[in-house]
Amino acid sequence: MLLVTLKDINILFVIALIIYVWRVSKGAKEGLIGETAFLADTCIICFLVVDAVVLINSILNKNTISILTSAAVLLIVLIGRKVIHSIFGVLKLIGKLPLINSLNTFLGIAAGMLEATLIIWTIYAFLPNINAVFPGNHIMLYVEKNTFLRFLYENNGLGNLVRLIASLFVPR
């Protein structure tokens, strides 16, 4: 009889598994086209939020040129967002064609796996800080005990990219 206690369960692996199931199922449902549309919309919304903050700050400082510039950028980005929505609407219709639908779904699953990996890599970026803030918190032990988690940690492409970019700007 196999008995598994809570202390035997690698909670970090369970969390990683949930993230992968979530993103892969979303990728399969939306397809690559839907996932790309969501990513584009998220980037546009982030840009709009930043521009709105600049606009509000310009209004508070009564900077007319900055107000007009920010308002114009806001308007252009909103129009661009409508155009992008229209393009992705057409692409989603094309993506429903039989052969293209299968490819779209397959690539959506791949995109979901990539998204999940990026989420895990982002979480890994905070692990050293978590262990520094909460002494005795042995989250890294969960990583070291699991082959899959350890592989992701040791091959953190996002962390390597950030370190590479930082090394370009920070002199040694």
**What are the residue boundaries of the structural domains of the chain, listed by start?**
21-167
CA dihedral angle for residue 31, residue 36, residue 37, residue 41, rounded to 10 degrees: 140
The C-alpha angle with vertex 30 and arms to 28 and 32, in degrees rounded to 5, equals 80
The low-confidence residues of the chain, meaning pLDDT below 50, are 1
| Predicted local confidence at residue 3, as pLDDT | 56
Using an 8 Å Cβ cutoff, are 112 and 25 in contact?
A: yes
* Structure confidence at residue 10 (pLDDT): 87
| pLDDT score of 9 | 83
Average pLDDT of the chain is 86
pLDDT of res. 57: 86
Give the model's pLDDT for residue 125.
Answer: 78
pLDDT tens for 58-102 read: 898 898 888 898 888 889 989 999 999 999 999 999 998 989 999
- Name every residue whose Cβ is closer than 8 Å to that of residue 8 and which is 6 or more positions away in sequence: none
The pTM assigned to this predicted structure is 0.71
